[in-house]
Amino acid sequence: MNAITPMSRAGWDALDRPLSIAVLAMGGQGGGVLTDWIVAAAEHAGWVAQSTSVPGVAQRTGATIYYVEMLPPRDGRHPVLSLMPTPGDVDVVAAAEFMEAGRAMLRGLVTPDRTTLIASTHRSLAVSEKEKPGDGVAPSEPVFEASDFAARRAIQFDMQKLAEDNGSVISAVMFGALAGAGVLPFARETFEAAIRAGGKGVEPSLRAFAAGFDRASRRAEPAPAAAAEPSQPPVPTSVGAPPLDRLLARIHGEFPEIVRPMLFAGVKRLVDYQDVAYAGEYLDRMRAMLALDQRCGGEASSYALTNAAAKYLAVAMAYDDVIRVADLKTRASRFARVDKEIGRRPDQLVYLTEFMHPRMEEVVGAMPAGLGLWLERQPRLFRLLDRLVNRGRRVKTAHIGWFVSLNLVAALRPVRRRLLRHMREWEHIEAWLALATRVAGQDYPLAVEVLACRRLVKGYSDTHARGQSKFDRVVSAAPGLIGKPDSAGWLRRLRAAALADEEGDALAGALKTLEHAFDP
């Protein structure tokens, strides 16, 4: 990356073209405020400046493009300035989110002979990334690589974190980075005067501005390496609570060291989800799975079967039901986390609104198994009750009525194992484990993949129903794959196809491909 020497006022006076800045920001990131500050700084320096904006699409499918052109006055004449950025003619591109920097490059707004790119490396995921059932997050590395040659100079760091650390918003850090980059022929005091003139949140904004200025003034740093897989923490031998210590003693005494971290994670999850006895049932199941693994020679494969079972059985046993949802929505730790994320001050009140859409299936699932089964056998009554409950609700958990209602639902946790939903989940878990057990004796790698398919079942309500349907379709192919070439790879590809889209079109295509793959 090449260094840029700031152009003096005299240098710009000698040019006939304006200085152009494009700011790409999403709602809530202060793109409009940043634009106003840029214009104010230019006018404070005696320049003529003009700003326009083109709104992006809502729900994070596109950022708003703010465009500023500025030019020193010529012999008292007011210049004619453009309303939109032109590819190849932008001096500075400032992106408040990293993928927006990539989109600016694709649009041709960033050029190697002219453009300074200022971008925050944090991510705010787009709808297209969130909607995929699997990991749809676009990698950041290609944007880092492209910026090395697409821009004349690239200033890239996590501006969102710097803003949070200084109690401000990202626009103030971006303004500081713009000033620190030295691409505008204005003194630092001119930028700070623009912030003071705004009159709101001046001190936090100035702190964030200073942090951004200092960070942008430093030597360029290499792009961060891809994050390594997090390592599992060591398993303690005691936590000071006798019931929990007994579970830890079982982990250390009954299982090989290589599987203990995953078992510890599973036990923590299930104690939080239900109770110590439930976590003990999990270890009982895992003891049987370890015995199967040893009979199949799993030690040579680092007990891959036991590790997969330890992870996915804990996930399956901690299924999302109305009790779990109500519990999580009313936890004090959740309210504390929200207060921290939004920066709530002691003199402010925060009200949360939860959007819920229960179906009669969830209501019946929270009933005792016998009553729920009887109600399901009354179709007319079931449909009538569904008309009453199957509608969207805005639940204000900060109001005493809704908070108490959800707390009462969460209080059903001690009787969860007698409810219809639990009975159904265990029937599904038993069938899944039985299939993995049957396959393990004939095709060990395929059995590991059968266990891993449980990641398809997730979420709540309609999401859970769709995931379970995909799971059933994928694992139904496992018996026919036993002993086939690359059997585990085929099941892994089916799982990846199931995670590719919500509708299941990719999975349907993959299943058709599989049908013809082993035709004689």
Asked if the structure places residue 363 within a domain, the reply is no
Asked if the structure places residue 164 within a domain, the reply is yes
Q: How many other CB atoms sit within 10 Å of the CB of residue 300?
A: 9
Asked if the structure places residue 468 within a domain, the reply is yes
pLDDT for residue 375: 93
How many domains, in total, are found in the chain? 2
Question: Does pLDDT of 60 surpass 60?
Answer: no
pLDDT for residue 315: 95
Mean pLDDT score, 300-307 = 94
Listing DSSP states for 312-363 in one string gives HHHHHHT---HHHHHHHHT-HHHHHHHHHHHT--TT-----EEEE---HHHH
Q: Kindly state the DSSP code that residue 368 receives in the 8-state scheme.
A: B
CA 418, CA 420: separation in Å to the nearest integer? 7
Distance set, CA 142 to CA 121, 155, 370 (Å):
12, 16, 56
Examine the fold and report which residue of 174, 200, 217 is the final residue of a domain before the chain moves on: 217
Determine contact, residues 100/24, Cβ cutoff 8 Å.
Answer: yes
Question: Does pLDDT of 259 surpass 90?
Answer: yes
Q: What is the pLDDT of residues 71-82, one digit of tens each?
A: 887 776 777 788
Question: Does pLDDT of 11 surpass 80?
Answer: no
Q: In which band, very low, low, confident or very high, does the pLDDT at 428 lie, cut at 50, 70 and 90?
A: very high
Examine the fold and report which residue of 177, 195, 217 is the final residue of a domain before the chain moves on: 217
Query: Which pTM does this prediction carry?
Result: 0.75
Domain carrying residue 462: 432-520
Asked if the structure places residue 311 within a domain, the reply is no
pLDDT for residue 357: 84
Q: What is the pLDDT of residues 333-376, one digit of tens each?
A: 988 888 887 778 888 888 888 888 888 998 999 999 999 999 99
Q: What is the pLDDT of residues 379-392, one digit of tens each?
A: 999 999 999 888 88
Asked if the structure places residue 482 within a domain, the reply is yes
pLDDT for residue 223: 52
Query: Domain containing 61 — which CATH number?
Result: 3.40.920.10
Rg over CA atoms, the chain? 29
Examine the fold and report which residue of 202, 217, 232 is the final residue of a domain before the chain moves on: 217
Q: In one letter, which amino acid is 77?
A: R
Helix or strand run (H / E) with residue 463 = helix 462-475
Instruction: Return the residue matching tokens 């639902």.
Output: 409
Q: In one letter, which amino acid is 192?
A: E
Mean pLDDT score, 94-106 = 89
Distance set, CA 97 to CA 1, 159, 507 (Å):
21, 9, 32
Percentage of residues in the chain with pLDDT exceeding 90?
52
Nearest Cα residue to 54 out of 20, 88, 25: 25
Question: Does pLDDT of 251 surpass 70?
Answer: yes
Taking all residues of the chain, what is their mean pLDDT, rounded to a whole number?
87
Q: Length of the chain, please?
A: 520
Contacts 24+ apart (CB under 8 A), 422-431: 422/321, 422/369, 423/369, 424/365, 425/316, 425/319, 428/316, 428/457, 428/468, 429/313, 429/316, 429/317
Q: What is the pLDDT of residues 174-185, one digit of tens each?
A: 999 999 998 898
Q: What is the pLDDT of residues 129-141, one digit of tens each?
A: 666 676 667 778 8
pLDDT for residue 224: 54
Q: In which band, very low, low, confident or very high, does the pLDDT at 59 lie, cut at 50, 70 and 90?
A: very low
∠ CA 73-76-81, rounded to 5°? 45
- Lowest mean pLDDT across 12-16, 53-57, 390-394, 440-444: 12-16
Distance set, CA 276 to CA 273, 298, 430 (Å):
10, 29, 21
Nearest Cα residue to 471 out of 295, 251, 316, 320: 316
Asked if the structure places residue 235 within a domain, the reply is no
3-state DSSP assignment of residue 24: strand
pLDDT for residue 464: 86
Q: In one letter, which amino acid is 174?
A: M
CA atoms lying within 13 Å on the CB side of residue 228: 3
C-alpha torsion angle, residues 122, 128, 134, 135 (rounded to 10): -20
pLDDT for residue 5: 41
Q: What is the pLDDT of residues 311-336, one digit of tens each?
A: 999 999 999 999 999 999 999 998 88
Q: How many other CB atoms sit within 10 Å of the CB of residue 374?
A: 13
Question: Does pLDDT of 226 surpass 80?
Answer: no
Q: In one letter, which amino acid is 474?
A: V
Question: Does pLDDT of 437 surpass 70?
Answer: yes
CA 509, CA 517: separation in Å to the nearest integer? 12
Q: In one letter, which amino acid is 478?
A: A
Determine contact, residues 477/337, Cβ cutoff 8 Å.
Answer: no
Q: In which band, very low, low, confident or very high, does the pLDDT at 287 lie, cut at 50, 70 and 90?
A: very high
CA 101, CA 322: separation in Å to the nearest integer? 41
